[in-house]
Structure 1
Amino acid sequence: MGGKIKDFDEITSFLGDYGPFQILIIVLFSLSAIPCGYMGVLAVFVSDTPEHHCKTVLLSNETEQCLDGWVYSTERYTATIVSEWDLVCDNAWKVPFSTSSFFVGVLIGSFISGHLSDRFGRKPVFFFTMVLQTVATLIQATSVSWVMFSILNCLRGLGQISNYIVSLVLGEKKSTAPFCCPGYKQLLVFSVLGFGIGYALLPLFAYFIRGWRMLLVATAIPGFLFIPTWWLIPESPRWLLQKGRVEEAELVIRNAAKRNRVPVPEVIFRAGECLELMQTYTYMDLIRTRNMRNITMMSVAMVFYGLSLNTSNVNGNVYLNCFISAAIDIMVYVASWLLVNRVPRPTLLFSTLMFCGITLLIIRLLPEVVYAFYSSCLFVLALVGRMGVSSAYCLIYVFFTELIPTVVRNMGLGIASTAARIGTIICPYVIYIGVYSKMLPYIVFGTISIMAAVVSMLLPDTRNGKLPSLISQHPFVYAYIKKMFHNCKNKRLETKQSMSNM
């Protein structure tokens, strides 16, 4: 037990950097992000409001309710939830509420996914949440009421974010060796790229499937196709070590080495090594310091999802608008991947968010004389602004991951995502106001983007640094731990002194 305590990265360094095993894991988790990419923005088509009018024209009172029902245009859709359940006029509030219910599920999933995967394992939770997302979507296609639809929307959101977060943490344990930052950054960027590809597939699905029920069925199918990868994706060796299952952790590493065709030491994890990895951590270990709270609370998700869901409020072809938006996202993700190791993290995050915020606020300054081109100008400026927030959304996962030690990274990403979803729950109502005032959503999103840009400059630069595996390796938390150690030591001395005086 007196041996040197080694870092997990040091122990597993024999695996190499990018072998067949790492590449396979990166590809699989990138593909798993595709359904997560379109699940969050399905409301653009499923909950869109078609052109409509009363079945009968009322001459007596213009404020009288439409007693005989509504007639909905089928030019764009054969049916949406709006035309299915008459979610217009007095019932129009139910549309943003149903979208918010999805993000309520995302908030719950963000908070509990870390705890569940720490308790039951990363792999079981990853596949369970994938099945949950898929099955909830299929059942949602059979909804008989708006209430049932909203409840299942919440479950779908819970599965979507839990699956995405756990995939990032599970992939981090195996996608890179020596499990340090270069390879994991590739996994993060490719996962976000898969997220963007999923978003780009949505308008293609929706263009050929004009009914909301069949659209939900079609988007659920890819989740089932991914389930057989259970036999290809192993459990996290770090989690196995934390639970004291050393033999199983060794087996995972040996299988990875076999695929990479590299020699394996006779004994991988020796007694006395990786002791801190076997400790149990709680949420208090994550939020003890002011710096860590700043890291977990900052978010750009409200602006990102707000601009995504606002597609239906922009004039023009909604399918083309959505596809162009997704295509721009993919190009931005690639550009971010190229810049991520060349520009300081806070500077890059500040620049992208500030660019987004200023661009969105410029929309408010458009003069009325350009009204003839107003819709086109608004769409172009919104897309340009979206480029900034899409880049920030991609960077935020890389940045947060580098700032949170491995042993609490799962909880850290969950807390960060939880904070983000408070904003995304509100954003459908901001978009709903856009029906009456097209300017207001852009003013709100632009202001929030600028505020987030200012906060981002308070964060340190982690470029070219190694991912902290242990809390003691984290520059912010380590100072706190030292302080706590000295405080405990002083208290023990005071207690001994007082007892001796008695």
Structure 2
Amino acid sequence: MGDYDDDTAFLGQSGPYFWTTFFLLNVVFVSTGFNGLYIVFVGAAPKHHCLIPDVNLTEEWRDAIIPFTIVDGEEVQSQCSRYKIDVVRNLSAQGYIPGREVNLTTLEQEGCLDGWNYSKEIYQSTIVTEWDLVCDNQWKVPFASSSLFVGYLIGSLVSGQLSDRFGRKKVVFMSLGVQCLSVLLQSFSHSWRMFCIMYLWVGASQISLYISAFVLGTEVLSKTMRVLFTTLGAFLFYCIGYMTLPWIAYGIREWRTLVAVLSTTSLINFPLWWFIPESPRWLMTQGRVKEAEAIVREAASKNKVQAPPVIFKESETHSPHRSNTL
């Protein structure tokens, strides 16, 4: 059987076709960098303490009702408890002064029965402030993060089978569409459970997009460009998403708006459908030799080289086996 790299050696190792494909495939990876990190901002827990209901308390008792605790050697207000509101209200009504006439350490404490008061110094809202994912519910934030990684597992298992069946390019853009839609729907989550379910889809589509685009690049690019793509390109552009996200989050402090904006970043990639080619290697394994040759001849035209009359040998075009991608 003929070797694909040998048969397409006339294209050279670089040129406009390879550089354009290299760049366009890498652009796709930027959005995957966004989705792998935004939980850091969406799931952030601002400073908080128990909400004090509108009851008749003196200013001194309203300031003293939250007990202090030692955290990392620093005295801070408790985030999960307060002095019992009925006791404090009675002491306030009797005119006692906290800390001077009443030893606060002897007072009975209770949980945040009326909810929490969250600082808006950094974040206007997060999933923590919206669904009170603090104290006894604090575990729900790392659980949400875990649902992303469960999605990674599912996407890793099915993306290879799908790309072998339907083609690398189709799975890349299908994954891109699912990623865009799942992130957008996540911004409309009405509960923590819905957020986790959509985050699972985000993870599955993100890793499917990454793997499929990575494989497509290794099959389309030349040997030299392939090495650059796999060792630097894909990882560098993924990190560009990582590095850009904090600036976006700095400007958008409300979690729903932030997630909705991130979903739209995938939209700019859809026009790339008309510029990113399907893998000729995969087409040949499907017996679609004419389509594979058409792509290679277009590559030759862009690289300004002459393609031979017959590109793929007959023994290769009838082979039922996949050609090596690396």
TM-score (normalizing by structure 1): 0.53
- Conserved 8 A contact 1:8-1:274: no
2:260 is aligned with 1:217: yes
2:194 is aligned with 1:148: yes
**Out of 81, 97, 106, which is 2:127 matched to?**
81
Aligned residue number for residue 26 of structure 2: 30
* Percent of aligned pairs with the same amino acid: 45
- Could you report, residue by residue, the CA deviation over 1:230-281 in whole angstroms, capped at 9, with x for unpaired residues? 00111100100111111111111111111111101111112113665x316x
SS in 1 for 2:49: strand
CA distance in 1, matches of 2:171, 2:40: 29
Q: Which amino acid aligns with 2:131?
A: W
User: What is the Cα-based RMSD across aligned positions, in Å?
Assistant: 1.5
CA distance in 1, matches of 2:5, 2:211: 22
CA distance in 1, matches of 2:316, 2:149: 42
SS in 1 for 2:316: coil
CA distance in 1, matches of 2:151, 2:157: 10
**Out of 86, 95, 112, which is 2:158 matched to?**
112
- Conserved 8 A contact 1:105-1:158: yes
- Could you report, residue by residue, the CA deviation over 1:20-52 in whole angstroms, capped at 9, with x for unpaired residues? 000001111111111111211111100011100
Aligned residue number for residue 59 of structure 1: 83
SS in 1 for 2:117: strand
CA distance in 1, matches of 2:203, 2:289: 35
2:226 is aligned with 1:184: yes
CA distance in 2, matches of 1:174, 1:238: 8
Aligned residue number for residue 227 of structure 1: 270
CA distance in 1, matches of 2:9, 2:174: 31
Give matches, 1:461-476, under 5 Å. Answer: 467=326
2:287 is aligned with 1:244: yes
CA distance in 2, matches of 1:13, 1:46: 49
CA distance in 1, matches of 2:204, 2:152: 5
Larger C-alpha radius of gyration, 1 or 2? 2
Superposition deviation, residue 187 in structure 1: 1.3
SS in 1 for 2:239: helix
Higher relative strand content: 2
Aligned residue number for residue 479 of structure 1: none
SS in 2 for 1:71: strand
- Could you report, residue by residue, the CA deviation over 1:107-161 in whole angstroms, capped at 9, with x for unpaired residues? 1101111110001100110001011111111111111100000000000111111
Structure 1 moving runs of 4+ over 6 Å: none
- Conserved 8 A contact 2:220-2:279: yes
SS in 2 for 1:273: helix
Structure 1's unaligned 5+ residue stretches are 281-405, 410-466, 468-502
Superposition deviation, residue 217 in structure 1: 1.4
TM-score (normalizing by structure 2): 0.81
2:209 is aligned with 1:163: yes
- Conserved 8 A contact 2:83-2:110: no
- Could you report, residue by residue, the CA deviation over 1:382-416 in whole angstroms, capped at 9, with x for unpaired residues? xxxxxxxxxxxxxxxxxxxxxxxx64x6xxxxxxx
Aligned residue number for residue 97 of structure 1: 143
Aligned residue number for residue 458 of structure 1: none
Aligned residue number for residue 9 of structure 2: 13
Aligned residue number for residue 40 of structure 1: 36
Q: Which amino acid aligns with 1:104?
A: V
Superposition deviation, residue 171 in structure 1: 1.2
Structure with bigger RCO (C-alpha 8 Å, 6+ apart): 2
- Could you report, residue by residue, the CA deviation over 1:185-205 in whole angstroms, capped at 9, with x for unpaired residues? 211211211011110101000
- Could you report, residue by residue, the CA deviation over 1:196-230 in whole angstroms, capped at 9, with x for unpaired residues? 11101010000000011111112112210110010
Count of residue correspondences? 275
- Could you report, residue by residue, the CA deviation over 1:259-316 in whole angstroms, capped at 9, with x for unpaired residues? 111101111112113665x316xxxxxxxxxxxxxxxxxxxxxxxxxxxxxxxxxxxx
SS in 2 for 1:49: coil
Higher relative helix content: 1
